[in-house]
Amino acid sequence: MTPDTMFAAPTEHAEAARYATYGLQLGTDPDPGAIMKLCRELNVRFMRLTFTDILGHTKNVEVPASQFQKALDGEILFDGSSIKGFVRIEESDMLLKPDLETFRVFPWGNPEARVARLICDVHNPDGRPFAGDPRLCLRRVVARAAEMGYVVNTGVEAEFFLFQTDENGGATTITHDSAGYFDLTPVDLGEKARRMIVNDLEAMGFEVEAAHHEVAPGQHEIDFKYEEALRTADDLTTFRFIVRNAALAHGLHATFMPKPIFGQNGSGMHTHQSLFMNGENIFFDADAEYQISDTMRYYIGGLKQHAKAVAAITNPLVNSYKRLVPGYEAPVDIAWSQRNRSPMIRVPDRRGVGTRVEFRMPDPACNPYLALAVQLAAGLDGIERQVDPGPPIDTNVWELSAEERARYQMESLPANLGEAIVEMEKDDLIRNTLGEHLFDNYVHAKRQEWAENIAQVTRWELDRYLTTY
């Protein structure tokens, strides 16, 4: 399908976007009847029922208008045995239970045959929640936080690259510009694509805060407002889809691969986290040192203590660890700081309602639901056990000597995916957070990935060794 047939013309696109926002008018507890009525009014002819597999890939089953009521009632079956890490062939039938609050109409296509979207939880045929559903994993952690009296707010900064495509439409690693941080057109050639992304995101209900060119050539960032944790994960899956489609419309390929280009900064996904109780940000304490509460310090302590294991989820690819190396503005050390961007965790300057933890390790290739689940679980564990994070390190940790690092008792993050998986297997909190099904299948998949990687003979090896030895 060409971009011309997949996307509407500019005027048609604008009209579609206007209608797409109607999904937001259904409120926080929409009625299936109201969704059916809206679908008729807006000429919605197809509905995508989306879910996320264990590796973070968004999947969907699309149904026509004749099946909308069945879909809204959670009666659409799909073959779970074809999804990585789900179920065996002899137990393949799974149910899609839609979260009606996620109903949106896509802001493109034919106004006479619009397409809508619902994000779904996955259930067993008997109606029980499926243990391998990443979204339900995050639901459990959010529910645990609620039992402790907390509302969890999170926000993400998901960077991405735009690359040129070849004559067959395939992806290349040739950047579409040579711009740098905050550059303008004509140096920044991604402006039109970013504006389309922003328009589409706003039509889908996002509050977009900023869009700009990032440090590396062809690298971009679009920031949207924080939400409660489950909605943030939902938003990230939607964001990645919107970005890829807008790139396609401009003849480009968008990738969230953490480190696609040697010698350039990789793409991170800094994750901002705060806890609220009775409408108040409990990370803020006006009378405490640095104006951060003990609760926040313990939360940081939990993140530090479990960071090595968490990395296997937040940095899930072999390629992820090509980003986590010195010299490219990505964290290498398990430390926290005020303002300083070199450690793994920083506390941005803002205080009051904006007091928050910025966890700088994750990358945008992660499974959003599992990544947030393990981060929140680690932080909550720190609160429950009152884990002391130690003093902040406000110097540039990338410039510390070995002796200085030893004095700070500073540990390093895993150097590769293999090390991260070993750390994950040793961490009971991560095992219990994911549950047996998710944990075992995830570890199995990543061990396979690592084994395949270490068996490869790379171009670098051939160039270095073939004629020398």
Phi-psi region of 152 (alpha: psi -120 to 50; beta: other; left: phi over 0): beta
Catalytic residue from among 214, 234, 363, 423: 214
CA pair distance 72, 389, nearest whole angstrom: 46
CATH for 140-460?
3.30.590.10
For the four alpha carbons of 60, 64, 70 and 71, in that order, the dihedral sign comes to positive
What is the full per-residue pLDDT of the chain (469 aa) written as tens digits? Answer: 333 333 333 344 544 444 456 666 676 778 899 999 999 999 999 999 999 999 999 999 999 999 999 999 999 988 877 676 665 544 478 899 999 999 999 988 788 899 999 999 999 988 899 999 999 999 999 999 999 999 999 999 999 999 998 888 888 888 888 777 777 676 667 788 889 999 999 989 899 999 888 888 889 999 999 999 999 999 999 999 999 999 998 999 999 999 999 989 899 999 999 999 999 999 999 999 889 999 999 999 999 999 999 999 999 999 999 999 887 778 888 999 886 777 899 998 888 888 999 999 999 999 999 999 999 999 999 999 999 999 888 877 777 777 877 777 888 999 999 999 999 999 999 999 999 999 999 999 999 999 999 999 999 999 999 999 9
The answer, yes or no, to whether the previous bond of 368 is cis (omega within 30 of 0) is no
Domain ranges in the chain? 3-128, 140-460
Tell me, yes or no, if 157 is annotated catalytic: yes
3-128: CATH, from 2.40.170.20, 3.10.20.70, 3.20.20.140, 3.90.79.10: 3.10.20.70
Catalytic residue from among 101, 133, 157, 200: 157
Tell me, yes or no, if 358 is annotated catalytic: yes
* Three-state secondary-structure class, residue 402: helix
Catalytic residue from among 62, 75, 79, 280: 79
Largest CA distance in the chain: 72
Asked if the domains 3-128 and 140-460 are classified in one and the same CATH topology, the answer is no
- DSSP per-residue codes, 249-301: HTTEEEE--S--STTS----EEEEEEEEETTEETTB-TTSGGGB-HHHHHHHH
Global pTM reads 0.91
Structure tokens, 14 = 């604008």
CA pair distance 118, 313, nearest whole angstrom: 25
The pLDDT tens digits of the residues spanning 153-180 come to 999 999 999 999 888 888 888 888 877 7
Tell me, yes or no, if 159 is annotated catalytic: yes
CA torsion angle 302 305 310 315 (round to 10) = 110
Tell me, yes or no, if 167 is annotated catalytic: no
Catalytic residue from among 53, 358, 381, 423: 358
Catalytic residue from among 133, 159, 177, 188: 159
The pLDDT tens digits of the residues spanning 56-105 come to 999 999 999 999 999 999 999 888 776 766 655 444 788 999 999 999 99
Residues in the chain: 469
Tell me, yes or no, if 323 is annotated catalytic: no
Catalytic residue from among 270, 297, 346, 356: 270
Tell me, yes or no, if 350 is annotated catalytic: no
